[in-house]
Structure 1
Amino acid sequence: MNTYRFPDYEVAGDADTTVFLLHGAYGSRAYFRPLIQTLVEAGYRVVAWDAPGYGLSPLPQGGLSIEGLAEAAARLIEREGSRRNVVVGHSMGGIVAPLASLLSQGRVHGVVISATVATFSRKSAQDKATFAEERIGPIRRGLPFKEAALPVIRGMLAPTSSGPLVDLVVDVASGMRADTFCAAIEAIVGYDGEDNLKAVSVPTLLIAGAQDKVGRPEGMQSLTALISNSRFVCIDGAAHYAFAEQAGAFNAALLGFLSELPDPHA
């Protein structure tokens, strides 16, 4: 029998508002553990997934695409959604989140995009090639994943970032499967999401680390011109992983946004 295989995920908390957490190309839901705890303690329900191909979830036949990831996320939202649903996407998850919200046909009431370029459509062919080469070139040439990944991951942190939350990100992000990661980078580079960003109408929060060289603050701020109901927050002292590097400031921005969302059924 051919039945749909949901990606692995966890549910925490019990509330009318559910926050769906979508991780980046480096990582899994495991590096969101402190954020999950913060959200549950603040009175929210959380669904955090391992995207298809991540954690114990098998890599789909034919590899990964942003469209396929967004469809999987939309199915999960349909299955686990509550009265009000918010999608929080970090890095690759931030590319997936806008399309997932559109595919959810009114079930998503807010979107948070963290530390991402959101679309590669504006980048040159050389920029795309450089981005991919830095991340998957050494792996394709036989370097073990962790050895190839660690310099890139540490290079995406602010020079002053340290502590247990940062250590957790580095450990989780450097411990994943090479085939999944390579497929994810190819999916990111090949995706043009500008039209989908323009179609997002729900309240949207854009969060960037001030020192992020990937989801650059100026690039993320420019997305406010594409997403009609959006606002931008820049986190000082953080780079690509603001939720771990400056957790207090990141959590304050996220919780403030969640608290201001209107009741969709009022």
Structure 2
Amino acid sequence: MTVFLLHGAFGAKAYWRDQTAALVANGYRVVAWDAPGYGMSPLPDPFDVDVAAAALARLIDAVGGSRNVLLGHSMGGMIAQAAFDLRRDRVHGLVLSATSAAFGKTEGEWQQKFVSDRVAPLDAGKSIAEFGPGMLRRMMAPGASGPGVERVIEVVSNMRPETFRAAIHAISRFDGRHILPRMQVPVLCIAGEHDLSAAPPAVMEKLAGKLPRGEFVCMTDVGHFAWAERPEVFNRHLLDFLQRRVRA
């Protein structure tokens, strides 16, 4: 079985180190990507979730196995949903971490504030390395620490500003609610207890309830980056789900 690891708007494939090690140790094949505009790839113009999902669908065609699972965090979870809809015959399960099926209307007050709050430091002339660590720690549980946390901060601090901006706008425009009834595969939705602004547990529980074969887990003592804040616990949920619900 091949597991595709899809990072969020703030990220890159490098921060999946703990999950890659755990999956490989348990016999899974792993494909961790840098989404278009991340890593060494150029930023598409325009960039949105559908553009990234189309690229992921092509990647599944090129390197996917006979059974494939998409593990998507935050924006990566949105990309996973959209890519599933493009390759329903090739995706056999999903793990959605701290994400949602829709961000609402782009002209909505909450959505506009979400975008403006996150790009305001760039508009003020600050670099991501300057404001990123504080922003990320506010998205985590109080006192979050460890190698995974430091890795997220390092990876995000090295992002290109144009990618950061484009990703924020992309997630604010996403609406995949029409896909949910078609998602007739096992789906694990993992939320963080302290993730109260980006992907609140109540929102993710509601998402799981709309999926024909969805299940919901809320991890305690973590915020938006559960897999980095408490990797051992996250990996246990991940491996249990794959073995119990997906593995042939």
Matched AA of 2:11: G
Aligned to 2:167: 184
Structural mapping, 1:83-122, within 5 Å = 83-121=66-104
Q: In structure 1, what residue type is equivalent to 2:98? A: A
List per-residue Cα deviations over 1:208-260 (Å, max 9, x = no partner).
Answer: 11111211111100012321110000111111110011111111110011002
Post-superposition CA distance 1:159-199 (Å, at most 9, x none): 12101111111111121000001001111111211112232
Tell me how far apart the structure 1 counterparts of residues 128 and 247 of structure 2 sit (CA, whole Å).
45
Name the counterpart of 1:58.
42
Name the CA distance, whole Å, in 2 between partners of 1:88 and 1:192: 19
Structure 1 counterpart of 2:222, from 238, 252, 263? 238
Q: What is the identity, as a one-letter code, of the residue corresponding to 2:103?
A: F
**What is the Cα-based RMSD across aligned positions, in Å?**
1.5
- Which of 4, 29, 49 is the matching residue for 2:33? 49
CA–CA distance in structure 2, aligned partners of residues 169 and 138 of structure 1: 19
Q: Contact (CA 8 Å) 1:112, 1:205: kept in 2 or not?
A: yes
Shift of the 255–263 alpha-carbon distance from structure 1 to 2, 3 Å rule, reads: closer
The CA distance in 1 between the partners of 2:131 and 2:82, in whole Å, is: 30
**Are 1:31 and 2:21 matched, yes or no?**
no
CA positional deviation for 1:149: 2.1
Asked if 2 retains the 8 angstrom alpha-carbon contact of 1:121 and 1:194, the reply is no
The percentage of aligned residue pairs carrying the same residue is 45
Contact 1:135 1:148 in 2 (8 A): no
SS in 2 for 1:120: coil
**Would the aligned equivalents of 2:149 and 2:228 in 1 still touch at CA under 8 Å?**
yes
TM-score (norm 1): 0.89
Is the 1:160–1:237 contact (alpha carbons within 8 Å) kept by the matching residues of 2? no
Identify which of 137, 148, 151 aligns with 2:131. 148
C-alpha displacement at 1:201, in angstroms? 1.2
Task: Map 1:151-170; keep pairs closer than 5 Å.
Answer: 151-170=134-153
Give the Cα separation in 1 of the matches to 2:114 and 2:54.
Answer: 25
The answer for unaligned runs of 5 or more in structure 2 is none
- Mapped partners of 1:218, 1:123: distance in 2: 22
SS state of the match for residue 158, structure 1? Answer: coil
SS of match in other structure, 1:261: helix
Measure, in 1, the Cα distance between the counterparts of 2:117 and 2:192: 21
Q: Answer yes or no: is 1:226 the counterpart of 2:242.
A: no
User: Is 2:232 the counterpart of 1:248?
Assistant: yes
Runs (4+) off by over 6 Å: none
Deviations 1:26-64 (A, max 9, x none): 01000001211111001100000000000111111x231
The TM-score, its normalising length taken from structure 2, stands at 0.95
Q: What is the aligned partner in structure 2 of residue 204 from structure 1?
A: 187
Is 1:136 aligned to 2:119, yes or no?
yes
* 8 Å contact from structure 1 (residues 23, 91) kept in 2: yes
Q: What runs of 5+ residues in structure 1 fail to find an aligned partner?
A: 1-16
CA distance in 2, matches of 1:29, 1:22: 7
